[in-house]
Structure 1
Amino acid sequence: MTIDRRSFLIGASLLPLVTACGASGSSSSSTAAPLKIGASLPLTGPAADVADPGYKGYQVWQSQINARGGLLGRKVEFVILDDGFDQNTVVSNYNRLISQDRVDLLIGTFSSFLNLPASTVADRNRMLYIEPSGGAADIFSRGHTRLFFSQPGTTDTAHRPFAGYVEGLKERPATAAYLHQDDPSTDVPVQNLRKTFEGLGIKTVYGQKYPPDTKNFDAIANAIRQADPALVVHGALELDGAAVVQAMQRVGFTPPILYQTRAPSSVNTYPKAIGATNTEAIFTAGSWHPAAKYPGNAEFVADYRKQFSQEPSEDAANSYTAVQVLQAGVQAVGKLDQDAIAAWLHANQVDTIVGPLKWDKRGVPDGSLLLMQWQGGKLEVVAPASAATVPSAIAAKPNWAT
């Protein structure tokens, strides 16, 4: 399907499937007006590699729900606008979705950078807003009552899995370097890790924040090499994660321990960008794993593989989870009453492919992320033990392959 930078309907690409499903499902689904769900995604720009699998996660859910007769007996269509990772554009897009496209429901976008202004538009129009991504604390401190985050942990708690791992080491790294993209979703976890590790006696030898449009990281990599830290903590979103690794490869520095946010969970693009063998022992924190035994996860993985001939990433799973939450609320209430759906979600637990989710009055989930590490060409769960897919973590990172 060709992506129009301004707007397109996901439903159009699935019309033959929808038509067939409508005929075999409830009779109302074939005659009622489509139920339109609107979102603005950064399909171009620095977060495009996040938005693309996220968009596909929505498509998988759409094909499933329409095959079962739709939502409230209506075929589901997504109206998707591209914001190019621009805050002004995401605001105008959500205003357009509400006032011009007249969507029935909204769904969130990717990154705290975009969700912060986008959720304000939703709240001003008294509409439900479920985020697949973007768990910065600022988003949940404004008193919005129809806002929900569909991952098990937010940026305030994202540091805990890796912090716990380092704290439990018999021999902790003596020094650490910290760098992060200027974004709420990367700033908070990195600062929390730095505070925790300095409290453990780990000396900070380098710290740097860089703009989102940074493309050349050679100077940063050289500075890190000269500081020679035993641990590198990198707050990355997507492309910058691979770019920093590539820069460290060019300057010939392999950190003994490397932790990056978000970027390593892009299982289809990250290994290709840095070299599959070079992923070995890189840590990240994540909300989802394809081998998790939660209800519906195996079906999601199988359908994603069938539909797109590739492995689903965490971003795809996060989108799918967001619409799972939306579906649960709509079906429980039985009508498109935004306030009633929000009230039901505040009062109930929803089973999803990232596990059961329950929220406080701010829309913050009661849970935590998984500690993950690349091992043997696969992204594995190393903690907590109850969810681990490998016996233990790899303690030291091998040198970059030439």
Structure 2
Amino acid sequence: MMRSSIKKLAMAAGIVLAAALPAKAQGEPPIRIGVPLPLTGGLAGAGTQLLWGIQYAAGEVNAQGGLLGRKLELIVEDTKGESNTSATVAAKLGGQDKVDAVVGGFGSTSDFALLSAIQRYNTIFIHPGSSSVRLEESFGKNPWYFHVYIWDYHRQKAAVNFFKSVPGLKTVAIAYEDKLYGTDGSKFTQKFAKEAGLDVVMNEPFRAGSPDFSPILNRVKALDPDVLFVIGYSGDNLQIARQAQQLAIKPKLLVTQGAGEKRSDYGAAGDGVVVLDLWSSKQKTPGLAEWVRKADAARGGEVVSTAVQGYAAMQTLIDAAKAAGKWDRDAIIAKLAGSEFSTPYGKVKYEPSDLGGLHQLITEKTMIAVQYQANDGFEVVWPAEKAAAPLRYPAR
């Protein structure tokens, strides 16, 4: 029952827009895009945001007559953020559904299983989420693999560069998710922090979805570091901020990595929290304000950074297919690899990454720090050229 409801919800936009297609487009076989994402379970918050961005980009092109005169059909599957389920989903999309491309994936551990299973089909794979370098090292050299989101070292370079920009910040406490996502993030944070002369005074793992973070927070209280850096998924980030408020534990600065949560999700617990992210609706990018206005209206609320990852992933595939002039796998791969794309991030292109990946869209150069401030506000506070307000430090 739940699976059926998820798929009905995920396909609703595409079904409505199909009626708007011209008769010719409706008569042609659809271009089928597999969309494997965690839509239930601990990673569902980010998964549903990514899905909305993918749907929005597909809906735009369907409303304009389809892609290359054909409807885009999204085959949405729930990976649940689980490795076994992800492998089963990959086999279905590649073997049974025989999709023309895949746009999806979130959660480094489950995505390793997803990609391990789907690589036998050599399907074009646009990957909007997941950052573990194990994925880059294992799949990044494949010509069919395109990665939108940053790799761990991009984010951790940005994090340490942000820490260095804060006058007087010298000590860092790290709390990290204990699987691929968090362990790689912790490793790179420690490496770059040491190179920058920062002192890592705590490096504590936790299980994603943990209900109780009080042992970690009480240790933070005793250590009193200049910053508590949380490397977790959306639910973990929210729970740590909420429990810190409940326990009256006030780190000088609480920094998280954006994973799909919104300012409104935190409520008062978010006051002073800094989120390292790829994108903000308030950043200065040509044409962005109009895109945000339309996207917010379509969403019926705030469009967050994770949704933009999904949108950019789908948009680059659509634009590459248009440039190729036909749905031809090799021609589309060539256009994906050699084109510059106008996106909500600005003008970007897939380029080689640090550890040998062929196609990487976003790096640390794109990243920003957003601070949630009182009265449900948020401001870009770093880097200086993108900042709209000064950082409040100590924040709590």
Instruction: Report the TM-score, using the length of structure 2 for normalisation.
Output: 0.89
Give the distance between the partners of 2:111 and 2:331, measured in 1 at CA: 22
- Given that 1:60 and 1:300 are in contact with CA atoms closer than 8 Å, whether structure 2 keeps it comes out as no
Match of 2:393 among 372, 392, 395: 395
The Cα offsets for residues 136-188 of structure 1, whole Å up to 9 and x where unpaired, read as 2221223322111123x321111223312322333223x33211012333333
Give the C-alpha shift of residue 69 in structure 1.
Answer: 0.7
- 1:195-210 aligned within 5 A: 195-210=191-206
- 1:48-59 aligned within 5 A: 48-59=44-55
Match of 2:261 among 261, 266, 271: 266
Q: Give, as a single letter, the amino acid of the residue that structure 2 aligns with 1:385.
A: A
Stretches of structure 2 that go unaligned for 5 or more consecutive residues are: none
Equivalent residue, structure 2, for 1:238: 234
State whether structure 2 residue 358 is matched by structure 1 residue 362. yes
Give the C-alpha shift of residue 322 in structure 1.
Answer: 0.4
Match of 2:102 among 86, 102, 106: 106
The Cα offsets for residues 254-286 of structure 1, whole Å up to 9 and x where unpaired, read as 1001111124x521xx533x32x3323322221
Give the C-alpha shift of residue 6 in structure 1.
Answer: 7.8
Equivalent residue, structure 2, for 1:144: 142
Decide whether aligned partners of structure 1 residues 9 and 282 sit closer, same or farther in structure 2, where only a CA change above 3 A counts.
closer
State whether structure 2 residue 278 is matched by structure 1 residue 287. yes
The Cα offsets for residues 345-372 of structure 1, whole Å up to 9 and x where unpaired, read as 2222222111222222522236322222
Decide whether aligned partners of structure 1 residues 11 and 250 sit closer, same or farther in structure 2, where only a CA change above 3 A counts.
closer
Structure 1 window deviating more from structure 2 (301-310 vs 50-59): it is 301-310
Give the distance between the partners of 1:9 and 1:79, measured in 2 at CA: 12
Structure 1 window deviating more from structure 2 (8-17 vs 155-164): it is 8-17
State whether structure 2 residue 332 is matched by structure 1 residue 335. no
Q: Give, as a single letter, the amino acid of the residue that structure 2 aligns with 1:221.
A: L
State whether structure 2 residue 83 is matched by structure 1 residue 83. no
Give the C-alpha shift of residue 38 in structure 1.
Answer: 0.8
Give the distance between the partners of 2:100 and 2:370, measured in 1 at CA: 37
Q: Percent identity?
A: 24
Q: Give, as a single letter, the amino acid of the residue that structure 2 aligns with 1:155.
A: D
Give the distance between the partners of 1:80 and 1:169, measured in 2 at CA: 43
The Cα offsets for residues 40-94 of structure 1, whole Å up to 9 and x where unpaired, read as 1111000011111211112211221111111111111211111211011111102
- Given that 1:130 and 1:326 are in contact with CA atoms closer than 8 Å, whether structure 2 keeps it comes out as yes
Decide whether aligned partners of structure 1 residues 169 and 321 sit closer, same or farther in structure 2, where only a CA change above 3 A counts.
same
State whether structure 2 residue 257 is matched by structure 1 residue 257. no
Stretches of structure 1 that go unaligned for 5 or more consecutive residues are: none
Decide whether aligned partners of structure 1 residues 91 and 191 sit closer, same or farther in structure 2, where only a CA change above 3 A counts.
same
- 1:205-224 aligned within 5 A: 205-224=201-220
Count of matched residue pairs: 386
Equivalent residue, structure 1, for 2:59: 63
Q: Give, as a single letter, the amino acid of the residue that structure 2 aligns with 1:386.
A: E
The Cα offsets for residues 175-223 of structure 1, whole Å up to 9 and x where unpaired, read as 3321101233333333322333344444333221122242221222222
The Cα offsets for residues 77-124 of structure 1, whole Å up to 9 and x where unpaired, read as 211111211011111102101221222221121122233222233322
Q: Give, as a single letter, the amino acid of the residue that structure 1 aligns with 2:232.
A: A
- Given that 2:370 and 2:379 are in contact with CA atoms closer than 8 Å, whether structure 1 keeps it comes out as yes
Give the distance between the partners of 1:16 and 1:214, measured in 2 at CA: 39
